[in-house]
Structure formats: C-alpha cells, structure tokens
Copies of this chain bind each other. A is one copy, B any other.
Amino acid sequence: MATIKDVAKLAGVGLGTASRVINKSGYVSEVTKKKVLDAIEQLGYIPNETARAFVTQDSKIVALFLPSIHHAFFSELAFHIEDELDKHGYNMMLCNSSGQIEKELKYINMLKQNKVSGIIGISYNSIGNELNNSMPIVLVDRHIGENIPYVSSDNYDGGQLAFQVLKDTGCINVAYIGTFSKTVITEVEKRRKGFEDAAKENGTNCTLYIEEDPIKDETAFLTTFLQVYKDIDGVFVENDIMALKLVQLAIEHNINIPEELSVIGYDGIETYSALRPRLSSIRQPIELMGRSLVELVLKRINGVQVEPVIHPVVLFKGDTTL
C-alpha cells in the first residue's frame, strides 16, 4: 500500500508539502497541489483518515460484480450472498460488468468514496493496479494482485475427482473439453490440470479439446468433437452448461449416454437439477462459497486480515456416468 512518502517522491515535493495538500492545511501553489493530487490518484494512496472512515462511515452496502448474472452459477451465488449479507444488516448492490472494465472501475471508485463498504467480485479484467490489499475486496475464483483474498472451490482436486470417476466406471480413453485464456490464468484451468495430471499418473490416454475463450460457436465446437473423437469413452467438460449441451448433441447423434460416452460437468447448478438426463457433475458448494465470501468481506470491512478459503468439491452422480 502506498504511503505519504511514495506520494511525495512521485510528486517531486517534500513530505511537509504532501502532508499540507492531504490535510488541506497551509499554503500550497495550485501547480504543486495538482502534482500531489495526481500522485495520490496514480498510486491509489488512501490517507489514514480515509482508512479509518472505512470503519466509521460504513455505508452498509457491499457491491457484487459478476461477469453476468445471466449465468445460472452466478445467479445462484448472488442469491446466497444477498441472503447472508442481509443477515448481517448489509445490502447488496449488483453490477453485471459483462467484461466492461469501466463499470468495475466505477465501483472501485465508489469504494474509495465510501459509497460502498466492500466489494465481492469476479473479474476477468486487469484491474490489479487499481486495487490494494487495504481495500475490503474479496474475489471469487480469480486471483488478482498478490494479496487480495479470494474464495474458490478446489478446482484442481475437482479435476482429479472427475478422472477418478471416469476411470472407476471403466473409461479407458478420456478427454477434457473446455477453454483456455491467453491473458489470464483462471481457476478453470486448474480443473484441466488436475484431470490431466491424474490421467498421466494412471497412464490413461487423455485428449485435450480446448479453444480460446470465448468459444465463437459452441454447437459447432462440440459437434466436431463428437464427429472426430469417436473412440473417446469419457469426457470431463469444464462447466455444466457446456456439458449439458454436449449430452444433448450426443443424444441427437444417437450416441448412448453413458454406455458409449460418459460425461461429467463442473459446477453443480441447481437450476438444471430438474432436467433429464441428470448431469453427473463435480459440485461446487455454491451456498457455502457465498457465505464465505460475505464472512471475508465483512472481516475486511472491519480491518481484519483474512486468508483465502478453498472449499472441497463432491461428486453428484447423475445419469450421464455409469
């Protein structure tokens, strides 16, 4: 976290001058004042009194930013976060960032101005420079910056578990289907790594069928897989929605599920629990994750340091594995 010394150094002024600008006491020329204010903005410097205000001027609002609530995993998570915040007397402000960095920055500014008391967020943008670890921010899954706490499920373990289930039900030629990102390392990739490592350790042939995120035509991507990789008997798909789509396309192509092809997803979304065939899936404990996120952000609002929380996953045995 930037100190007043950093501000003075960057502005090219003495400590006393920087202090006069920050405390609005004594004369400073407009030119010098601007230099100091620019340095404050550039460094994201928060004076002690503002830091104290995080505690005393608690707006009782926590902002949640999500790539899109339009996705069942996120809307279920939002439901549990709002429920838990409400129990603690906090309101939730919702921001669908849809990948727009300006929208995320708007909320970070609101945090700096005490209009919101804390932020829970998933971000795929490079906003690390805008954050510092004194801010009450807790992330879902992604690690941005060194010391910003986060909550995730044990994605690596989930990948290993997915392989174990396929192996135990007799699969001998498996594949991972999903996406990759050139710019950020996502938790999703740990699912792949866990799966790959487990297959390798077991000496099982494992195909990676991946495309850069976001996939332009998911139906074409999955149909090609079914047409080309006819020998594969078990797949782990990076999320439930894509897995369900694969199951439906396989049924349309008269591929018997799970006899000819076993499918496991990842997420364990309730929204789809009424559908048939029921998807076998590695379940993230969405409710527990929501409650942990709230616990962590409230501790951060009260100035308490916290450690990341990684929740174990479990298999939900549906109809798409033997």
Contact with B along A249-268 (1 / 0, CB 8 A): 10110000000000000000
Min distance, Cβ A2 to any Cβ of chain B, angstroms: 27
| Number of residues from A at the complex interface, CB < 8 A | 34
**Are A93 and B96 interface neighbours, CB within 8 A?**
no
**Are B91 and A78 interface neighbours, CB within 8 A?**
no
At the interface, yes or no: A69 with Cβ under 8 Å from chain B?
Answer: yes
At the interface, yes or no: A13 with Cβ under 8 Å from chain B?
Answer: no
**Are A252 and B276 interface neighbours, CB within 8 A?**
yes
Asked whether A75 and B86 contact (CB < 8 A) given A251-B276, A274-B245, the answer is: no
**Are B82 and A75 interface neighbours, CB within 8 A?**
no
Asked whether A94 and B96 contact (CB < 8 A) given A69-B79, A70-B76, the answer is: no
**Are B70 and A82 interface neighbours, CB within 8 A?**
no
**Are A68 and B79 interface neighbours, CB within 8 A?**
yes
**Are B95 and A91 interface neighbours, CB within 8 A?**
yes
Q: Which residues on A are within 8 Å of B, measured CB to CB?
A: 61, 63, 68-70, 72, 75-76, 78-79, 82-83, 86, 91-96, 98, 103, 110, 241, 244-245, 248-249, 251-252, 270-271, 274-276
In the bound complex, CA of A182 to CA of B83 (Å): 28
**Are A244 and B275 interface neighbours, CB within 8 A?**
yes
Min distance, Cβ A148 to any Cβ of chain B, angstroms: 22
CB-defined contacts of A252 to chain B, threshold 8 Å: 276
